[in-house]
Structure 1
C-alpha cells in the first residue's frame, strides 16, 4: 500500500505539473495567438477573372489558381478520401487528436526524429492561416491552442471547407476546386474515384507526389489513399480493385479560356491595378465584366487576321525560316525536336518540308503530323523583293520549296497552305453608337509578338477619313448635299507651313463644278479643301474638337482638310459614331461591371446615352439650320409625353452625351457616306459612278451601311471607318514604323480574278477587313430602314447643277435637305443639256481616298 500511495502521489504530482506546464505554455503564447473568429470572414486569395458581356471567360490573372467551393459542392467520396488520409477522427475530436499525439511522441522518443506531426485538419487550418511550417515546439504549442479555439468558433463543416479551399495541391492550384480543373479539366462533380483519391493524396507532398511531375510516386500515393478508404470501409473491395488499376490521366489544364481577347483583358487588368493596387487586384477574387460581345470579338479577330494574311501574301514570299538539313534527313525524333524550338501562334505552325514534287509538297509539324500542301496553297508564293516589287508567279512547287527547309503552314479553312509571319500591323474596334460600349477591340495581329495596343495607343495620320467631319462643318455653315463645289486645281496655296502647299486630286483628274455628295463619295481632295475654306480654318478646327479630336493633334493649316492630324482608331470610331446616333458624342467604355469575391457589385458603368430628353433639347450654338429645322417639327407634345421623356431616353440618373451636330446634319452626312459604298447615277445611261468603297457593296450587300476610306501620302496609313445604325467600326492597317510604306503589288498570274493589285489604299488595304467583319456581324439582322428625322425634306434636283428640275429621268434624283435650305430655282433648259459631270475615278491610285 505504501508503494501504491507513493505511485498515486507521483502520478498526481506529474499531472499537476502537466496541467501547470500546459497553463504556463498557454499564457506564454497567449499574447501571440490571433483572433480565430477572423476565419469566419476570411478572404481567400483568388485570381482576377475577366469576362465578356455574355459571360465568356477572357482571361485570368494571379499567381494562385483557386476556385472556392462550398461544403455541399464537394463530392462525399472526395471528403471521405481526404478524411481517411489526413484525419480519420475529424468529426470525433475537439481540434487535437490525443491518439495521434501519443503516437508522434512515441516515435520521437524511440527514434529521436520528428517524423510524425500528429496534426489534425483543424491544426493544419490553424497553421495554414496563422503560422509557419517550421517544426519547432513553440509553433506546435501555438498550433494546438489555436486548433482548440477554432473548434469553439467554427463548425466542423466550416473548418473542413477552409481546408479544402486553402490547401496547396501543386501547379499553382490551391484547393480541390482548382486541382480538379488543373489536373483533369473537370468540375468536382465530374471526378472519378481514382481522380478524387489522387487529389486527396496531394496536400502532404504537392510537388514530390505530383502526377504530372512524378507519375510513379503519385500512383503509389493514390493507391495508398484508396487503401485507407478500403480500410475505413468507404469503398468496396471491387471499387478498390478497379480504381487501383486505373491509369494516371492527369495532365496540365490551364484556365478554361472561352474567348481569346488579350488586348481587352490587358486593358481591364490595367484598370483594376490602377484602381485597387496590384496585390489586391490579383488576389481579391474580382470579376470584371466587359462590354465586349464574344461573337463580334471573334468576327473582328477573324476579319483582321484574314486581311493581314491577304496583304502579306500578295506582296510575296520572304522564304524559309531556316534549313534543318541539306541532303540526308535526320530521324523523325530529331526533326520534331528542332521544330519544337519554335512555338506556334495565331494558327500558324512551324513545319519541315519532307518532299516536293511539281505541284504539291509534304510537310511535318512538331507533333509528327504529316500534311500535304496542294498547289492552291503554294502558288501564291512569288518572291518578295520590296513592298513595291514582287517576283514572277511560280509555275512549280519546286520554285518555292526545297526539302529540309523549315517553313510556316496554316489551315485557311479549306486546305493546309504555306504561310509566313506577317510584318504589317492592323487594328479594329467597334462601338455601340448609342452608348459608347466597345463591342470588340483587336489591338494587333498577334498579342504574342506585340502587346502594343494600336486601338488606344497608336496615333496615325487620318487621311481622307477626316472628310466627313470637314463636310459636316460646311453643312453647318450653309452647304447642302447638292451644293456645287469647284473640282478644279487650287492655284492659291496655303503658306502656313512655310512652303507653298497646293493639294492635288488622286488621280490628278478634275471635273469642274461637282455636287458635295459626289465629292465626299469619291473623296475628291480639292473639294474638301474648298469646303474647309468656306467654313473657315478656325471654325473647322473647333468643329473637329467637338467630335472628340484633341486640339493638340490638329495642325493650323489647310492640310487638315486631307487628314494630316494623327489620331487613334478609338478616337476615329467615336467620332464616326456621331453620324450613326444622330449627332451625339458618346464616351467609349469597356467595363460594364466589377464584382467582388463576395458577389458585391463595386462598380457599374454609367455610360453617356446618345439622346436628349425633350425638356433639355436646345438648338446647337452657331447652327442656324438646326433652329430652322425645328420650325418644321410638331410642337404639340403632350404633358404626359414630356413626363415620359426621361424614361424613354434613359433612367433619371442617366448621363447624356453632348450633341455636337444636329440630327439633320448627321443624317445628311450618313446618306452621303452611303454613296461612298453604293455610288450613284444610271450605268445604263452612262452616268453611273462608283464611290471609293464600292467593294463593300459587293461583300456586305446591305443598304443600311455607310463608310469612308482613308489613305495618307505614300500609303503609310490606310483606314476604313463605317457604320450602320447599330454598330460603328474602324479598321486601320499600316506598319508600326511610320517610315515604311504599304507599297503596291503587280498582277499575280496565279491569283484570283478579283485580286487586289496596284497601290495599297484604304479601300483595298483596310476595307476588306471592314467588309468581312460587317458582313458577319450583321448577318441575320434586318436592314434598318431609312427614316429621315423631322426637319428633313426631299426635292428632285438636276444632277448637273443641283437646282430643282421637273425631269424624272436619269439626269435627276431626289435629294435630302434641311427644311428651308432646299433649292428654290429651277434649272434652265439650256443647262439641262450639260449633265455629264461625272469623272472616272480609277482604282489604280487611291492616295487620300
Structure 2
C-alpha cells in the first residue's frame, strides 16, 4: 500500500504541470450558437452546430438539480472529487465479475468532458481522478455542478440541460414537468440510446429509474412518483424557438458575422446579434410582398398540377371525361399522404391531392391526412396560363381545372382552402431609415426555402424610370428649375456606330410639346429625361449619379442611361432615394445594431452616419436628433454621443434646396393631377393616394418590355423600394385580360411599375406610416415661392387654375411675366393612362 501511494504521488507530480488552470475553468467560453434578433428582441434565427443555452445554478429548477444528484452522484456535496464508497463498490464488482455501477462522480465527469476523451484505459482513469482533485481544490461544489449541467452532451446536438429542454420539449428548463425533468436527467448515461425521440421505450424505463432514486432520496413523494411514472413520453424534436421568421434578414446578418469573426468563432462564440429590423415592419413587408406576388400570379392564370397520381390514355379519353369514369381507382388517404411527403410547403401554401372532382367543387386530401373541399370561389380564378401575355377563357366547371389524382398547392384562408400555386415571378422589398440607413425591413423573395438568392442585395436589375429623379436632380444642379420648359417631342438620332436610328419613345407614345419639368417627372416623360441628360452632359451625369452611392461602373455611358438602362439592386435604389428624403445626405445602409457576447457584454455598437446639419455645429437638441431613428435608437446612448461630440455625420452630397425641390416634384407623381382642363392628367404613382398621406413622394419605374417593375417612395423618415420581375431575364411581366369570374375589382392590361410593384409598397407603407406622425418636408433657406403661369412657366398675376405657386432657389425664379392669356392652351400633360411608363430602345 505504501509503495502504491508513492507511485500515485509520483504520477500526480508528473502530471501536475499539465493539469488545468483556474482561469481555464472559471473564464470558460462556452461554445454556444450565434443568435439573430430583431430590434425588439424577437429571435429570428440561430446558427451553430452545437445547441447550448448556458444557465446559472439559480436559473435551474431545484427538481432538476435533485434529479441529477440522485441519479449521478448522491454524495456529491460530501466527497472530495472521488467517492471512496462508489470507487470501492466498482472495484469489488470488477474483482467478482459483477457490474456494481460506475465510480464516476460529477466532478470526474466534468474532468472527462472538459479535458479528456472517453477511452476506457487505466491511465485515462488515473488522470481523471487527479484532475478531479485539482478541480475540487479550485472551484466550489456549486461551480462544478454548474459546469456539469451546462457541458454534458444530451443527444440531438444539445449540450447542457438548457438546450435539451428546448430540443426535446420546446420549453425553458424552468417550465418542465417532473416527468420531463426525469427523462432529461436520465440522458447523461447514454444520450444516443436513451433519448425520448429515438427510443421512447428505453427513455421511459430510464425515467422510472431516475424517479425511483429521487423518491428513495426523499426528493419527491409517492404521489409525485406515481403521477410522473404514468405521464406519457411527450418529447419531440424542436428547433430554436423562432419568434420572427425572417430568413433573408438572418442570412444577411449571418454572413456579416462570418466576415467579422470567421466561421468557427461566429458559430461557437455565443454571440447575440441585434439587427435594426423591427418585427412588425418585417412581418408587414413579408405579407405585402407575398400577397403582391400571389395576386400577380393568379391574374396570369393556372399553370396546372404539379404531378398526377393517375395517368390517362389521352388518345382514347380526355381528362374531362376521365373525371367521370367510374373505373378510375380511387385515391386512398394513405396513398395521398405518401405522395405528398416529398412536396414542401411554402408559407401558407401546402400540397394536396385531388381525390374527387364534381361540377363546381373538388375534394382534396392534405399532407397531414385531413380532408377538405374546394368550392367554386376557391377554383373559379384558375383559367389556363398560356404564356406571360395570354390566358385561357374563364372556366365554367371544376373538371376544366382539376383531375382525379392531381397534386396541387392550396392556400389556407379564413373560410377554408383555395387553389393556388408556387409563383414563378420574383420580387424584393427593402425599407430604410432615411436619417441613418438602418434597414427596417427586407424581403429578398417569395420564399427562402424556394430560393436563397436575396434579390434585395444580389439582384442587379434595370431600374427603368426609377433613375429619372437623379437625372432631374442633376438638371436642377445645372441651372434648370421645376418651371423650366422642355420640348416633349419625339427624338430621332442617327447612330453611326450601329447604323440605326435611335428613337426613344414615351410610353404610351403621346407627346405634349412644351412642358414644365415638374409635370414631365410626374408623368415620367422619357424624351424629357433624354433631353436633360444631353443638356447636362454624360460626362457630368455619371459623376453626379455616383454621389447617390451608385457604382459608376454600373452606369452605362450612353443616353439610354436616362431611360433606366443601369442595373442596380433594390438596396442601392432605396439608398439613393433616401438622399432626397433626408435633405441631401448620403447614408450607408446597415443591419446590425449591436453584438453581445454570451455574457451579455456589448462588444460592438453601430455608430451610423447621421443625416443632419444641426449636429455639424454641436448645437442640435437631443430630441431633434433622436428623430433619426424613432423605432430603435436608444435615447441614453444618443444623448451621450451628442454630449461627447461623437456623432458620426453623413456627407452632404446635394444641396438641401435640390433635395426639397426633387421631393416636391416626386410628390406630384402621387398627388399631382388636373381633371378640369384638357387633356387632363395625373401622376403615375396616383394609387398611393389611398394612404391618405400628403407627406409622401415616389416614382414608378418600368423597363423595356416590362421585364422589371419598380416603385420607390418615401416619407421624411422612411424610404421603401419595391421591385418585381422574373429571375429569368428572357421573360417579361406581360399582360392580362379580363377574367369574367373575378368581377370588377381586378387588375388587367399591361404590367408596369404602378400596377405590379406599387401595390406591395402601398400595403407595406400603410403599416409603416401608422407608426410615424404626419411630417411635412421642411422648406430649407434660400428658397422662395412665386406664382407662375402653368403653360409658360413665367410669372403671372392670375389666381385661377391656369396658375400655381412654384418653388425656386434664390436667383433662379423667372423675372418675366406671361404676356398673353394662354389659359385655353395649357399644356399640362398626356392622357389618363399611367401616362409615362418607360420603354428603352437601344
Taking structure 1 as the reference length, what is the TM-score of the superposition? 0.92
2:43 to 49, 57, 80: 57
Residues 338 and 694 of structure 1: CA distance in aligned 2, closer, same or farther (over 3 Å):
same
Residues 35 and 117 of structure 1: CA distance in aligned 2, closer, same or farther (over 3 Å):
farther
Give the C-alpha shift of residue 646 in structure 1: 11
Task: Tell me the SS of whatever aligns to 2:373.
Answer: strand
Residues 489 and 685 of structure 1: CA distance in aligned 2, closer, same or farther (over 3 Å):
closer
Residue matched to 2:797:
806
Residue matched to 1:351:
352
Q: Distance in 1 between matches of 2:94 and 2:291?
A: 69
Residues 549 and 786 of structure 1: CA distance in aligned 2, closer, same or farther (over 3 Å):
closer
Residues 424 and 400 of structure 1: CA distance in aligned 2, closer, same or farther (over 3 Å):
same
Residue matched to 2:75:
89
1:822 to 810, 813, 817: 813
Equivalent pair of 2:333/2:365 in contact (CA under 8 Å): no
Residue matched to 1:395:
396
Mapped pair 1:292 → 2:292: no
Residue matched to 2:511:
510
Equivalent pair of 2:577/2:712 in contact (CA under 8 Å): yes
Give the C-alpha shift of residue 847 in structure 1: 3.5
Residue matched to 2:247:
262
Q: Distance in 1 between matches of 2:361 and 2:681?
A: 44
Residue matched to 1:33:
19
Residue matched to 2:555:
554
Give the C-alpha shift of residue 416 in structure 1: 1.8
Task: Tell me the SS of whatever aligns to 1:482.
Answer: coil
Residue matched to 1:205:
190
Task: Tell me the SS of whatever aligns to 2:204.
Answer: helix
Q: State how 1:43-122 maps to structure 2 within 5 Å.
A: 43-111=29-97, 116-122=101-107
Q: Distance in 1 between matches of 2:743 and 2:698?
A: 26
Deviations 1:297-354 (A, max 9, x none): 1111111111111111111111011112362224312221221221212221000112
Equivalent pair of 1:47/1:61 in contact (CA under 8 Å): yes
Task: Tell me the SS of whatever aligns to 1:547.
Answer: coil
Q: Distance in 2 between matches of 1:687 and 1:806?
A: 24
Mapped pair 1:730 → 2:721: yes
Residue matched to 1:190:
175
The farther-off stretch of 374-383 and 839-848 is 839-848
Residue matched to 2:623:
none
1:695 to 687, 701, 715: 687
Q: Distance in 1 between matches of 2:307 and 2:121?
A: 58
2:669 to 664, 676, 679: 676
Give the C-alpha shift of residue 398 in structure 1: 2.0
Give the C-alpha shift of residue 374 in structure 1: 2.4
Equivalent pair of 2:707/2:733 in contact (CA under 8 Å): yes
Residues 486 and 415 of structure 1: CA distance in aligned 2, closer, same or farther (over 3 Å):
farther
Task: Tell me the SS of whatever aligns to 1:833.
Answer: helix
1:757 to 728, 748, 752: 748
Equivalent pair of 1:81/1:200 in contact (CA under 8 Å): yes
Q: State how 1:699-714 maps to structure 2 within 5 Å.
A: 700-714=691-705
Task: Tell me the SS of whatever aligns to 2:238.
Answer: coil
Residue matched to 1:234:
219
Residue matched to 1:777:
768
Task: Tell me the SS of whatever aligns to 1:455.
Answer: coil
Q: Distance in 1 between matches of 2:440 and 2:644?
A: 22
Give the C-alpha shift of residue 414 in structure 1: 5.2
Residues 686 and 509 of structure 1: CA distance in aligned 2, closer, same or farther (over 3 Å):
closer
Deviations 1:524-552 (A, max 9, x none): 11111111122122111121011111111
Equivalent pair of 1:495/1:501 in contact (CA under 8 Å): no
Equivalent pair of 2:684/2:754 in contact (CA under 8 Å): yes
Residues 684 and 233 of structure 1: CA distance in aligned 2, closer, same or farther (over 3 Å):
same
Equivalent pair of 2:523/2:830 in contact (CA under 8 Å): no
Residues 847 and 412 of structure 1: CA distance in aligned 2, closer, same or farther (over 3 Å):
farther
Q: Distance in 1 between matches of 2:498 and 2:654?
A: 30
Task: Tell me the SS of whatever aligns to 2:194.
Answer: coil
Mapped pair 1:660 → 2:653: yes
CA RMSD of aligned residues (A): 2.1
Deviations 1:383-428 (A, max 9, x none): 0111111111111222111222110001245552111111111111
Q: Distance in 2 between matches of 1:716 and 1:791?
A: 42
Residue matched to 2:535:
534
Residues 425 and 291 of structure 1: CA distance in aligned 2, closer, same or farther (over 3 Å):
same
Equivalent pair of 2:641/2:647 in contact (CA under 8 Å): no
Give the C-alpha shift of residue 809 in structure 1: 1.7
Equivalent pair of 1:758/1:844 in contact (CA under 8 Å): no
Q: Distance in 1 between matches of 2:398 and 2:789?
A: 58
Q: Distance in 1 between matches of 2:238 and 2:649?
A: 46
2:822 to 802, 817, 831: 831
Task: Tell me the SS of whatever aligns to 1:285.
Answer: coil
Task: Tell me the SS of whatever aligns to 1:363.
Answer: strand
2:787 to 786, 790, 796: 796
Give the C-alpha shift of residue 660 in structure 1: 1.4
Q: Please, which runs of 5 or more residues in structure 1 have no aligned partner?
A: 1-14, 618-644
The farther-off stretch of 261-270 and 149-158 is 261-270
Residue matched to 1:638:
none
Q: Distance in 1 between matches of 2:30 and 2:773?
A: 48
Q: Distance in 1 between matches of 2:262 and 2:804?
A: 61
Task: Tell me the SS of whatever aligns to 2:440.
Answer: strand
Mapped pair 1:282 → 2:273: no
Give the C-alpha shift of residue 605 in structure 1: 0.9
Residues 495 and 58 of structure 1: CA distance in aligned 2, closer, same or farther (over 3 Å):
farther
Residue matched to 2:231:
246
Task: Tell me the SS of whatever aligns to 2:792.
Answer: coil
Deviations 1:463-494 (A, max 9, x none): 11000000001111111111111011123456
Mapped pair 1:138 → 2:128: no
Taking structure 2 as the reference length, what is the TM-score of the superposition? 0.92
Equivalent pair of 1:507/1:841 in contact (CA under 8 Å): no
Task: Tell me the SS of whatever aligns to 1:593.
Answer: strand
Q: Distance in 2 between matches of 1:488 and 1:115?
A: 100
Name which one, 1 or 2, has greater alpha-carbon Rg: 1
Give the C-alpha shift of residue 362 in structure 1: 2.1
Equivalent pair of 1:523/1:848 in contact (CA under 8 Å): no
Equivalent pair of 1:352/1:365 in contact (CA under 8 Å): yes
